[in-house]
Structures are given as structure tokens and as C-alpha cells.
Structure 1
């Protein structure tokens, strides 16, 4: 029996501001049956707060698993060392790179008008970040998005990429998270907290940062719009997001 369902956000629950009505209905039905619903996303909790309220979802695993919140309050978190974040900021200033830093309650940036950040904002949508000045204290940061190409990332990750969890989602943008954090690790922490076994969990996702999640749960469901390499790692494949993929996947693989 499935007791918890985790949903990726972008390309799974919604695309920019569009969400199928069938998705809302499916999430509401899960909740009506007493099944716990959680968001599980590479975005920050700050960015998905409105979505949580819209769908009445209490739990959010954000920052690719590095932060877990309940109704907007931090329950677990794996932040970077402040000295490392400060080093990244200095490096970015020296090289003219833009950074987006995810805290629990806000997003920060060193270059608010960085052209690559603005391109990402245009393509997938970002809320407007707060500028972090040199004299400001660095709050707990759970994820860094560096707007750099692969050959430019070495100053940020060092000579051993295994020191971090990396997810490159554009040729010019990469997520950097603390080592050992990914969506499956974050979900495991939540499952342990709630007393739910992984076999009793299902998850929906469409991206390469969902692979660990889809393989970890008892019922991993890839969206029809996911790349073939992601679909190959999931137990099941539903239809695309625009073709009622959540509704169909919930009916066929969760509630059945």
C-alpha cells in the first residue's frame, strides 16, 4: 500500500504557470485518501511556496534534497559552509559569473542582471532574487546555481567533482549541492521521520536529477515527456504532463 507520493515540479506537476486541472484533482484525491503528498524539487522552498498553498501540500523536499521543510519551516537541512559560499562569491566576481544561492526563505544573487540568469528566468521562470552584498552575512545556503559552462566550473568544484552533487541542466548552468544530497537522500530522510518504508512510497519525475528518486522508491513513475534515459530508470512510465500524466499515473500505478 502506498502511503506517500513525491512529485517533482517542473515538467511534472507544472510547466511555468500552467498546470492541468487533472493534476490538481489527482493530488486532491491522494490527500482525501490519507496519502501523504510531498514536493521533491531542485527549486528552493521560497520558489514553491505558492504551489504548496495552492495544492495544500505540507511537505517540500527542495534544493535537490538538501532542504526539507514542513509548511514553510525548516525541519532538516544540509547547508554549505559559509566560507565556501564566500569563496564562490569572490570567484564569481573575479570571473564575471552569476550565481543564484538558495536559502530556506529567500534566493540571493551576486549579479541581478546577469544575462544567463535572465535567460534562465525567461526559459523556466525564477522569482526575483535579493542581491547579496559583500558586507552582508551569508545565511545558510543549500544550493548554488552557477551560470558557467563545463570548462568554467573547476574554480567552484575543485579538482574532485565527487565532493559535490552536480546537476547540469543547461550547457551554461549547473546545480551544486553538498555531497551526498540528491532527491532520494532527501526523501529517505523524510520517510524515516514519518515512519514510512521506501516500498510504501511512489514518485513522479521527468529530469535527470529525478533518476535517483525514481530508482529509490517502490513505485517510480517517469513522465511521458521525460528523456528516454530517464524513462529507462523508472519502473513505470505515464503519459506526458500535458496529456494528463499525473492523473493517469495516479490512477494506474498508485491507487490501483
Structure 2
């Protein structure tokens, strides 16, 4: 029996307008009505997941910033992680020569040293609140605790930066392609898969009692965790091959889960 359904947001539960289609909302509520718990798992900040949860009028578990923060339906924080100030500062400085736009995230905020016109465009497009802080680098490790550094731009530049970071930081930084033209740098050992494993252990569930859906490379770790995994049809082939099923929508995956549980119950 599947007891937990986990959904990514961008390009999965979110449509191009960064909202949830009515069909997907209805399908998630059908899961809840059938006794299946729901978890939102995203690279976005926790307060953005809370906003989605409130829009859907449900009580969901939350895995935010690729597993850096985990909350259960009682709003109990199960886990948190962040870089030490020196590592975050050094990472940001190493990335500066690349033709990319960089953001520094902590649990409740996303910061840039200067809010350029391009940053404002990204903020509007992604519907992510971004704060200008000229002193952000000086504040790392004291009043700002970076849980993620995110870079957006040309994929060739992203790959060059990723190679440099892997060479320079070795096992001190993990990286994930989290969206089209976007890479996230995370504290070591932080991923959606590890975060999901922490959540299901807390809930006393087994991996085979979980279903999950996503579209990007930062979803692979959770897709590998359970045999009930779904990749979106828009995902790259490398992501699809990590999932058991390919579907066009969250609603399609949710309907599969309901049908599967009905078959199990009938036996």
C-alpha cells in the first residue's frame, strides 16, 4: 500500500505560470481523502512551499531547498542544514567570474548583493522573492546562514562552474541541476533523496510505501529511493530512465497510486 505521495514543484506540480492546475489539485485532494499523505519536495524556500500548501488547502509534509529543511504536517522541523560562513563566501566568490546570476538562500530568504534588471526579470518569471543586501557576503555565518547557492544562466557556463567547484571544494559541496539553466550548490549530504529518507524514517514508513514524482536532476535521488517513481514527460531522458513510470501530469501519477492501492486492498 502506498501511504505517502511526494511531488516536486517546478515543471511538475507547477505549470508554466507557476500555479497548480485544477486537475492536479483535485487529484492531490483525492489522495488525501483516500488516506494517502502528501509531501512537497522542492529546491524552493520553505515559505514558498507553505504558500502552495495553503493554496491547495491541505496539510502536507515539506522538503525544501533540496532537503536542507524538512517539516512534517505538524510543522515540526525534522532537519536543517547550512554552509559554514567561510565556505559559502568562498563559493560565491569563486563563481563571480562566470557569466551567471547567483543567489544566496537561507531558510526564509533569498539574497543578492545587487538587484540588477536581470535579477528582477528572474524574480518575476520564477515568482521568487529576492532581497538586495549589499552586505550579504559579510553577513554569511553570522546573521545569514546560507543553505543553498543557486546560479542561473547558460548551461555551458554552468557546467564549467560545476567542474571548478567540484575540483576546488571536493567533498565540501554537492551540486544538482535543479531546473532548466539552473544549478544548486548544497551542503554535503543534502539531497531530496536523503531528505525523503529522513522523513519516511520519522513517519515509520517503508520505501515501498512511498511514491514520488519529479522532472529534473535534483529529483533523481528520490526517484531512486522507491520503485513507485514517476518522471514527467517533459523531463530529460537521463531523468526518465531513473523512474519506473513516465507521466504527463501529477494527476496521472496520483490516479495510478489510487488504482494501485485499490488493487492491493482487494487482495
**Does 1:252 pair with 2:256?**
yes
TM-score, reference length from structure 2? 0.81
**Does 1:177 pair with 2:178?**
no
Contact 1:98 1:109 in 2 (8 A): no
Gaps of 5+ in 1: 240-244
C-alpha deviations, 1:120-178, integer Å up to 9, x for none? Answer: 43554422335261553343322111357233456655435554221235786421011
Contact 1:47 1:127 in 2 (8 A): no
* Residue number in structure 2 paired with 1:193: 202
Gaps of 5+ in 2: 261-267
For the residues of structure 2 that align with 1:230 and 1:168, how far apart are their CA atoms? Answer: 11
Contact 2:12 2:214 in 1 (8 A): yes
Superposed counterparts of 1:39-50, under 5 Å: 39-50=40-51
Q: Cα–Cα, structure 1 residues 231 and 5, in superposed 2: closer, same or farther, change >3 Å? A: same
Counterpart selection for 1:79 from 77, 82, 101:
82
- What is the CA RMSD across the aligned residues, in angstroms? 2.8
* Residue number in structure 2 paired with 1:106: 109
Superposed counterparts of 1:11-30, under 5 Å: 11-15=11-15, 16-30=17-31
Q: Cα–Cα, structure 1 residues 65 and 160, in superposed 2: closer, same or farther, change >3 Å? A: same
Contact 1:98 1:114 in 2 (8 A): no
Superposed counterparts of 1:122-201, under 5 Å: 123-131=125-133, 133=135, 134-136=137-139, 137-147=142-152, 149=157, 150-153=159-162, 156-169=165-178, 173-201=182-210
For the residues of structure 1 that align with 2:177 and 2:213, how far apart are their CA atoms? Answer: 20
**Does 1:3 pair with 2:3?**
yes
For the residues of structure 2 that align with 1:48 and 1:20, how far apart are their CA atoms? Answer: 16
For the residues of structure 2 that align with 1:120 and 1:249, how far apart are their CA atoms? Answer: 30
